[in-house]
Chains A and B, each alone.
Chain A
Amino acid sequence: MLSLSADLSDATVNLQMINGDEAATDGDVAHARALMKFAETFALRDEQSLADARETLLDEAGPGVLVDAAAVAANFQRMVRIADSTGIPLDTRSAAMSVDIRKELDLQRFGSAKNTPPTSLKTKLLSYIARPMAKIMLRRMEAKAQKDRS
């Protein structure tokens, strides 16, 4: 989703931010380092560091950003528990769109990868067209929404 939103915003991002690489925050995402630290200390339940990260984000970006970042972080404490406790696999479409990204971020190392079958040749072939097609479709949808708004 980060990769897709960057593509559609014509922005540069280094996906290794997701794995906690601080050097990767030097891209087009505003307050990336402060957001990454906030998310990280929150998920690690490191309460003192979370308090520090909260203050940094508040000072740097303001209360609106802090509250919305907290809401998203809390939301994604839920998603992993839904997925793992019901044993759902990755959807075929998402699997096709994320072949490269899963490899880049080495997501196969996670235990919950067991619920999704290994990438088949068909999925690999689909991956070559799935992402470009999704971008075209989403750009069209956004253009229509913008037209409707104006």
Chain B
Amino acid sequence: MARSDLYCNYSESPYPIRQGLANAHKAYWQALAAPGNWFNGKQRVAIACEVRNALSCPFCEQRKNALSPYTLQGEHLKGDVLGDEVVDAVHRVVTDQSRITKNYIDDNAKLGFSEEQYVELVGIVVNVFSIDEFHRALGLPLEPLPEPMAGEPDHYRPGLTEQDTAYVAMIPPEGAVGDEADLWEAAKTANVLRALSLVPSAVREWMGIADEQYLSGEAMMNFSGPNGRAINRMQIELVAGRVSSINECFY
């Protein structure tokens, strides 16, 4: 069997899964296993493993209920591949993301866990979590994590970034040029699209999944016509809005 057929083929699903969804999930699982820009394949897969650990981590549960998320000391439920700061960041993004601050990211950078690594980590966490959550929504067992591929990160950083909008540096709206020209069309972008752009491949990876789980950029501009889905745009936005409301998503 080819490597790409090992994961996310949904042959056991009681419900037919659109091929586009299966392909997007399969493509991400392959990308997850490969070396990234700032982590190698083994570290990337270990980050994915921590996404799952976070959901049953007693320390995360305790911290979520604490008044201050930065004073409590304790041990996470974790594997042994990643450093403590990296594990902590994964668990925070999964279980307590609304209390992450710029100081937290800057302090980690002083300890050697760089802003670029943090952005790549956020990309991995949200993509793995989203695919896992798709399985949970349908009552399907989670996919086994992929076998890491050999190789080292290339430490690629985009040429044009700005630091003033968010906690992390991002490519400016007019900065998607050259190797980043595929990220968005001439200044037509949104902060949520730019958020992970310090690691451009993280943007590409999440867009590949969003195009299928939600809508492609082109389909997003179509509010009333056919969209290639079994639910119309109002139904899509009802589901999106209700989930976002419970998650207290202002954005």
Chain A residues in the interface with B (C-beta under 8 A) = 1-2, 4-6, 8-9, 11, 13, 17-20, 28-32, 35-36, 38-40, 42-44, 50-51, 54, 58, 62-91, 94, 105, 107-113, 115-116, 138, 141-142, 145-146
Contact = CB atoms under 8 A, between A and B. Distances in A.
Nearest to B202: A82
B70 interface: no
Contacts of A116: 250
Q: Chain A contact residues: over half helix, strand or loop, or mixed?
A: helix
B136 to A, nearest CB: 8
Contact of A84 (B100, B190, B230, B237): B100
Q: Chain B contact residues: over half helix, strand or loop, or mixed?
A: helix
B251 A88 contact: yes
B9 interface: no
Given A20-B242, A113-B250, A67 B21 contact: yes
Among the interface residues A17, A19, A81, which one has the most CB atoms of the partner chain B within 10 A? A81
B249 interface: yes
Contacts, number: 262
Contact of A44 (B94, B166, B246): B246
B3 interface: no
Q: Please list the 8 inter-chain residue pairs (A to B) with the smallest Cβ-Cβ separation, ordered nearest first.
A: A64-B230, A70-B137, A87-B167, A2-B237, A80-B249, A39-B242, A74-B134, A43-B246
Interface string B211-251: 01110000001111100011111111111111111111111
Given A83-B249, A88-B191, 4 more contacts: A54-B139, A66-B15, A70-B134, A111-B248
29 contacts: A1-B241, A4-B223, A5-B223, A5-B233, A18-B238, A35-B238, A64-B16, A64-B230, A69-B235, A72-B231, A73-B137, A73-B239, A74-B136, A75-B209, A75-B240, A77-B247, A80-B98, A82-B126, A83-B195, A85-B92, A85-B93, A85-B100, A85-B122, A86-B167, A87-B100, A88-B251, A90-B191, A111-B250, A112-B249
